[in-house]
Amino acid sequence: MSSFATADPASTDPDSTEENQGWTLRLILSLVSICLVLEMLTISYLMVATALPEMIGHYQTTQGAWVLSAFLLSGA
């Protein structure tokens, strides 16, 4: 038998206290920034999809899918 007392790792971890388990300012700002980036990407995709028929007509081409694919690829 071991003479060492086994301690619960959760009780000795300083990050597991109740005051560190809530919404922090860093977490809130991270979530807000992710939501803003996703909304910006959605709006920019809608702008390209709306302008695509006019671009196809202006350049007299049938390869409009490549424009949309290039936009999505550059955004990635």
Beta-carbon contacts of 24 under 8 Å, excluding residues fewer than 6 positions away, are none
In the chain, where are the structural domains located? 25-75
pTM: 0.54
Q: For residue 43, which amino acid is it?
A: I
First-to-last C-alpha distance (Å) of the chain? 58
Query: How far apart (Å, rounded) are the C-alpha atoms in residues 16 and 39?
Result: 34
With a cut of 70, say whether residue 32 has pLDDT above it: yes
pLDDT of residue 11: 56
Q: For residue 16, which amino acid is it?
A: S
With a cut of 90, say whether residue 28 has pLDDT above it: yes
